Amino acid sequence: MRRVRDRIAGLILAAGVSTRMGEPKQLLHVDGRILLGKIVEEALKSELDQVLLILGYQADQIKRTLRPIITHEKLKIVDNKAYRTGVSSSIIAGLSVVAQNFDHVMVLLADIPHISSRLINLLLQRYLDSRLPLGAIYINSRRSHPVIFGRALYPELFQLRGDEGARALFQKYGDRTCLVEPGFFYDDRDIDTPEDYAAFKRSRNSERSETDKKR
C-alpha cells in the first residue's frame, strides 16, 4: 500500500547529442509518432506524480515537435545547459527541481522504445512495497532500466559526474536493491545507431505480421 507521503517524480533523460545516430534519436519515428513522444505519453499515463523531461541538444526543435504534449499539467520541461558533460548532468538537473518535494525519483531513458506505463507502475509499486532505497527492472539475468531511487540517496546522486550515471550506486548498494522482473514481454534494447533503429523497425514489422496472422 502506498504511503500518503510518498511522492514519485519521473526523470526522462533526453538531452544527449546522439553522436552515433547522426541525428537526434529523440525525433525518430516509432509506431507513427516520434520516439520521445511515445515515452513521454507512457510516463504521463503512469502513476508517477510528476514527469520531468530533461532536454539539452536540439531542445527548441524537440519542444516544437512535442508541442501538443508539453502543455500537460503533469509534465515539466527542464533545460540542461551542461548536457555535453554527460548523462549525470541530466540526472542532477532533474533532481534539483524535485528533490525538495518528492521522496523518490525514477530515471527513464528516452531511447528505449518499449518502456510502458505498465512497466513503470510495476517497478514503482514493487519498489515502494520493498522499502529498499533502490529499485530496477531485472531482465535476462541482469539489471536494466528504468531505475528508481529514494530520498536517502539524493546526496550521492548529486555527486555523480560524467557519463556513468548511477551505476556505481547499484554496485555499492547491490544488497539494498529491489530487482523487479516484468513477468510480461519487455525488450530493453535501446536505439543508439542507425543499425539499432533498422533492427527495431524490422522487429516491429515482424510483430505486426504475427498479429495479422492470428486475426
Number of domains in the chain: 1
Instruction: For 44-63, write each residue's pLDDT tens digit.
Output: 999 999 999 999 988 998 89
Q: Where are the alpha helices (DSSP H) in the chain?
A: 35-45, 59-65, 87-98, 117-130, 154-157, 167-172, 194-214
Rounded to 5 degrees, what are φ and ψ at 147? -135, 160
- Does residue 208 register a pLDDT over 60? no
What whole-number distance in Å separates Cα of residue 29 and Cα of residue 39? 12
Mean pLDDT of 193-197: 82
What whole-number distance in Å separates Cα of residue 70 and Cα of residue 57? 17
Q: List the Cα angle 11/117/4 in 5-degree steps.
A: 70
Residue 64 C-alpha cell reads as 516544437
19 within a domain of the structure (yes/no)? yes
- Give the pLDDT confidence score for residue 128 in this predicted structure: 96
**Listed ranges 7-21, 29-43, 60-74, 91-105; the one with the highest mean pLDDT:** 91-105
User: 2: pLDDT confidence band, cut at 50, 70 and 90?
Assistant: low
Instruction: For 134-144, write each residue's pLDDT tens digit.
Output: 999 999 999 99
**Listed ranges 116-120, 185-189, 207-211; the one with the highest mean pLDDT:** 116-120
DSSP-derived 3-state class of residue 56 = strand
Which amino acid, one-letter code, is at 95?
Answer: L
Mean pLDDT of 11-25: 81
The answer for 58, left when phi > 0, alpha when psi is -120 to 50, beta otherwise, is left
- Give the pLDDT confidence score for residue 211 in this predicted structure: 47
Which letter does DSSP use for residue 76 in this model? E
CATH number of 99's domain: 3.90.550.10
Average model confidence (pLDDT) for the chain? 89
Residue burial 201-213, b: 16+ Cβ < 10 Å; e: rest: eeeeeeeeeeeee
2 within a domain of the structure (yes/no)? no
Domain extent, residue 155, equals: 8-214
- Is the CB of residue 10 less than 8 Å from the CB of residue 49? no
User: Is the peptide bond preceding residue 68 cis, with omega within 30 degrees of 0?
Assistant: no
What whole-number distance in Å separates Cα of residue 78 and Cα of residue 90? 9
1 within a domain of the structure (yes/no)? no
CA end-to-end span of the chain: 39
- Does residue 103 register a pLDDT over 80? yes
Mean pLDDT of 182-201: 86
Mean pLDDT of 100-126: 96
Q: What is the residue whose three cell numbers read 540542461?
A: 80
Rounded to 5 degrees, what are φ and ψ at 160? -65, 150
- Does residue 19 register a pLDDT over 80? no
Rounded to 5 degrees, what are φ and ψ at 56? -155, -85
Mean pLDDT of 16-41: 80
Structure-model confidence comparison of residues 26 and 98, the more confident one:
98
Instruction: For 108-120, write each residue's pLDDT tens digit.
Output: 999 998 999 999 9
